[in-house]
């Protein structure tokens, strides 16, 4: 490396996403974590090879860093991202849900879908984990008009526990989650539903809304999201058509993998920044639908990985830096 590395601050660095950003930056050739904040751990060393101590967020001088990752809980995170941008940091990515509606001038950052918006942006709202997979899986289909929007898409999703954060809650104890599987936020009441609806509408070109039912479940795994989609399609369309459209759409993308046959599972993607998508036909007369499965790591492409990908674009770096192994 012949240039001095860029300096990053990770605000809220002890949660699952903050820790994952720190981990990624340890392997990033151009950006290093120069600051990590934690109220409870202030003064303590950050675990790992680098010599870094947690500081309080209040004490960060944002004009001294090049990029800020705000990893605090929703409700707190967005204002820190704005404060960082306004305080002199070149760029800020907010990993919470606070700015996903564009508040503060934030750009919604799914590079594969809206890369031009992200390149050079000063403030990016990193998408939610569930929406990331749904939007990437449905984009080629909606853009190409393959979806019958007169019938609802069914999105049955399952996530590992790290999606719920690291706060102590009885329902998230090992003794409660191990050997369990449960639905939650059902009936389109999960907080990601408006974000998904807005994304679908944008992808569909603004016409009628795209109806869907979204049901998340909690899996007894640490990380990974798998979403099983029942896609209503126009009569005559098959899985091969959806695969072809998706493969063409993502031909040049390093982080989206369209499977020619078979369906991905968590094991195929966890630990990487990749999203894997596959389709299968359903033997069913009448109302035609195609089955889709999209899988990815909720902490990487669903959070920290996509945040670094966005940061790379914001900083004018190669988009993949620090994201391959």
Where in the sequence numbering do the catalytic residues fall?
129
Q: Is 283 a binder of its own copies (CB under 8 A)?
A: yes
Site for its own copies in 131-160 (CB under 8 A): 150-152, 154, 156, 158, 160
Using CB under 8 A as the binding rule, whether residue 240 contacts its own copies is answered as: no
Question: Could you say whether residue 220 binds its own copies (CB under 8 A)?
Answer: yes
Taking the least distance from each CB to its own copies, the nearer of 83 and 190 is 190
Q: Determine, following the binding rule CB under 8 A, whether residue 266 of this chain makes contact with its own copies.
A: yes
Distances from the Cα of 45 to the Cα of 40, 55, 147, 267, angstroms: 12, 10, 51, 32
Could you say which residues in the range 173-202 bind its own copies, by CB under 8 A? 173-183, 186-189
Pair 170, 158: CB distance under 8 Å: no
Q: How far is the CB of 192 from its own copies (least distance, A)?
A: 14
Cβ-based neighbour number of residue 159 at 10 Å:
24
| Cβ proximity of 77 and 12 under 8 Å | yes
Total of residues contacting its own copies (CB under 8 A):
76
Q: Does 317 bind its own copies (CB under 8 A)?
A: no
> Smaller CB distance to its own copies: residue 109 or 160?
160
> Looking at beta carbons only, is 74 or 188 nearer to its own copies?
188
Concatenating the DSSP letter of every residue in 97-121 gives STTTT-GGGPEE--HHHHHHHHTT-
Contact window for its own copies (CB under 8 A) among 65-73, 100-108, 138-146, 218-226: 218-226
CB 149 within 8 A of CB 203: no
Estimate the crossing angle of helix 111-118 against helix 305-314, to 10 degrees. 30
Instruction: Give Cβ neighbours of residue 168 (< 8 Å, ≥ 6 apart).
Output: none
Query: Is the Cβ of residue 42 or residue 213 nearer to its own copies in the bound state?
Result: 213
Question: Whose Cβ is closer to its own copies: residue 122's or residue 244's?
Answer: 244
> Contacts with its own copies in 79-118 (CB under 8 A)?
none
CA dist., res. 221 & res. 229, Å (int) = 21
DSSP codes of every residue in 39-75: SSSTTSBPSSSS--BEE-GGG--GGG-SEEEE-SPTT
Tell the smallest beta-carbon distance from residue 301 to its own copies (Å): 13
């Amino acid at each position: 490396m012949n240039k001095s590395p860029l300096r990053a601050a990770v605000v809220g660095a002890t949660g699952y996403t903050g820790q994952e950003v720190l981990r990624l930056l340890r392997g990033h050739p151009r950006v290093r974590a120069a600051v990590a904040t934690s109220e409870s751990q202030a003064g303590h060393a950050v675990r790992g090879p680098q010599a870094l101590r947690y500081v309080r967020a209040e004490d960060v001088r944002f004009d001294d860093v090049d990029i800020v990752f705000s990893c605090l809980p929703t409700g707190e995170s967005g204002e820190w991202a704005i404060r960082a941008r306004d305080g002199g940091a070149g760029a800020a990515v907010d990993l919470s849900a606070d700015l996903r509606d564009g508040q503060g001038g934030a750009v919604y950052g799914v590079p594969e879908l809206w890369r031009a918006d992200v390149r050079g942006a000063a403030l990016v709202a990193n998408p939610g984990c569930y929406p990331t997979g749904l939007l990437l899986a449905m984009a080629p289909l909606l853009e190409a008009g393959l979806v019958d929007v007169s019938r609802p898409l069914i999105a049955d999703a399952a996530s590992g526990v790290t999606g719920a954060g690291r706060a102590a809650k009885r329902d998230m104890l090992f003794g409660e989650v191990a050997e369990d599987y449960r639905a939650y936020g059902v009936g389109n009441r999960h907080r990601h539903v408006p974000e998904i609806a807005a994304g679908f509408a944008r992808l569909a070109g603004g016409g009628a809304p795209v109806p869907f039912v979204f049901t998340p479940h909690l899996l007894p795994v640490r990380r990974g999201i798998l979403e099983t989609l029942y896609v209503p399609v126009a009569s005559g369309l098959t899985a091969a058509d959806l695969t072809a459209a998706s493969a063409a759409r993502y031909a040049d993308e390093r982080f989206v993998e369209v499977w020619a046959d078979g369906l991905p599972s968590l094991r195929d993607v966890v630990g990487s920044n990749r999203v894997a998508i596959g389709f299968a036909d359903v033997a069913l007369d009448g109302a035609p639908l195609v089955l889709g499965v999209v899988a990815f790591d909720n902490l990487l492409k669903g959070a920290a990985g996509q945040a670094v990908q966005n940061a790379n674009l914001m900083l004018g770096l190669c988009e993949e830096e620090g994201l391959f192994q």
